[in-house]
Amino acid sequence: MKLMLICGAGMSSSLLANKVNDAIQRRNLDIEAWAIATTELEANLGKMDVVLLAPQVRFMLTKFKERLAGVPIEVIDFQVYGSMNGEKIVDHGIKLYEAILKK
């Protein structure tokens, strides 16, 4: 699974991506996770299976859903994001990915 995190400037989601990758390694999962800024979306089209948006850019959800038609995208819970809980982010991404597989 390829999990892309998006935030405004990419700074906070880069920190979160580190936590997510730590969780992935601890659990020995076959997941690739990275973070981008909202301005980097075009350069990353077609590279992801699942997208999680930082709460501070939730207002862009509709725009991203239109641009990423067919790619599951949801907003990360603000408490999970604020606590930098990599485990819960991984679980959220897996849940979205499994929904694709069930279709």
Please give the positions annotated as active site.
7
Length of the chain: 103
Q: State the Cα–Cα distance between residues 5 and 37, nearest whole angstrom.
A: 9
**Residue type for position 35:** A
Residues with Cβ within 8 Å of 53's Cβ and at least 6 positions away in sequence, in order, are 5, 6, 7, 60, 61, 64, 73, 74, 75, 76
Does residue 70 sit in helix, strand or coil? coil
Q: State the Cα–Cα distance between residues 86 and 103, nearest whole angstrom.
A: 27
